[in-house]
Amino acid sequence: MRLLASSGQIDTTHPTAGNWPIQVNLDTIYNTAIVCGLMIGLAVFLRSRYRERNPGKFQVALESIVDFLQGLIKDTLGTKPIPIGPIAISLFFFILVSNLLGLLPIFKSPTNDINTTLGLALFSIFLLHYYSIRFRSFPGYIKHYFSIVQPRWTGPWGWTRVVFAFLEAIQEASRPITLSFRLYFNIFVGELMVALIITLLPAIVAPFFGAVWLLFSIFVSLVQAFIFTMLTIAYIAMGTDVEHEEEGHGEAEEERRGVPVTTTEAAAA
Amino acid sequence: MTDRGLILGLSTVAAGLMLGLGALGAGIGDGLVSSRTVEGTARQPEARGSLLTLMFIGVGLIEALPIIALGIALLLLFANPLQK
């Protein structure tokens, strides 16, 4: 669909299979399969040479990334019983590997396609609403929209609440759009720029600019993967903020915090 | 002036406006974030790591909308859906 109207022709369409209503982009499917295969291969490779005492460089790098993400989750979510850790780490590595795949010569990123990023964003939004309803119970979830300005349920119910509920609903509805479009356009424009640099610039300066843009694209891939993961965690943390009930939460927190202490005491005894 | 010419010409002007204003907004936003990061690091050099992380988060969030504008500008320039 997008053709460059000068000497070179850059084709950014995807070969498709099937018709309406089910139509898949074939090369996105192939590249997603390659990304999944790469991730499984790297995981198996790491597991085969896993050493506790004297870890290798690759193991140290991955452990530092996982450690950083776990610290982020603990900082943001606190002591809420939300198993977002494995989901967030898998999401981060999947988006990172699929963003970086497009920088290699023959491959294209799976996140080059709006369908991939929209699917990931809808998955995150579904998680957000699911945990929000589970933590607040459905009437509380609806009431939260009407209590953005005045955070106590017992305020005056007037037209201002309806206006702010509407604005908050628009803000929430824009989240899947910005999540998916941010990732999609960053990666797609990066790949398109590589093609434009190769096509439009003279052959003497093109490798230099291409190398600079590739370095920037690696940085953008890292940052966008991290932002997607962090926004998912932050949205869930904001959506499960239960402020008013303190007695029930106090007991549950003590119960939860008590479990690791008793096991270490039992092990020491 | 033909109809198609008018549409393509105005699309080019629109693409230029989108790119320019997007870059302006991104520049101002990135400058504010980076200046606060440098100031915070100067005040407390131990917090450099976490301030750098927050700066990258801020830059990534700020740069999202100008890149969306760039994508739509490229769409308008090269594969205009409005032309006949």
Report ipTM (2 d.p.).
0.83
Query: What is the chain B residue with the closest CA to A220?
Result: B60
Q: Which of A20-34, A153-167, A171-185, A193-207 has the lowest mean pLDDT?
A: A153-167
Contacting residues of A for B60, CB less than 8 Å apart: 182, 223-224, 226-227
> Considering chain A, what is the average pLDDT of its residues?
81
Model pLDDT for residues A75-113, shown as the tens digit of each residue? 888 888 888 989 999 999 999 999 999 888 888 889 888
**Of B60, B75, B79, Cβ closest to residue A223:** B60
Mind telling me how many Å the CA of A188 is from chain B's nearest CA? 8
The phi, psi pair for A117, rounded to 5°, reads -70, -35
At residue B37, φ and ψ (nearest 5 deg) are -65, -45
Q: Quick check: A2 and B61 CB within 8 A? A: no
From B76, which residue of chain A is nearest by alpha-carbon distance?
A2
pLDDT band at A37 (very low <50, low <70, confident <90, very high): very high
Q: What is the pLDDT of residue A215?
A: 93
Residue A98 tokens, joined: 């699929």
| Alpha-carbon radius of gyration of chain B | 19
Cβ B82 vs Cβ B7: under 8 Å: yes
Euclidean distance between the first and the last CA atom of chain B, given in angstroms as a whole number? 15
| pLDDT tens-digit series, residues B53-73 | 889 889 988 988 899 999 899
Helices (H), ranges, chain A: 26-48, 57-77, 85-101, 114-145, 159-200, 206-239, 247-268
Inform me whether the pLDDT recorded for A7 exceeds 70. no
Taking CA–CA distances from A182, the nearest residue in chain B reads B64
Which tens digits make up the pLDDT trace of A221-230?
A: 999 999 999 9
Q: Which residues of B15-41 are buried (b: 16+ CB within 10 A; e: fewer)?
A: beebbeebeeebeebbeebeeebeebb
The verdict on B28 touching A (C-beta cutoff 8 Å) is no
A187, pLDDT greater than 60: yes
How confident is the model over A29-49, as a mean pLDDT? 91
Report the residue from B56, B64, B74 with minimal CB separation from A178.
B64
Q: What per-residue confidence (pLDDT) applies to A243?
A: 62
Contacts of A65 in chain B (CB under 8 A): none
- Amino acid A201: pLDDT: 84
Q: Do A224 and B57 touch (CB under 8 A)?
A: no
B67 to A189: CB separation less than 8 angstroms, yes or no: yes
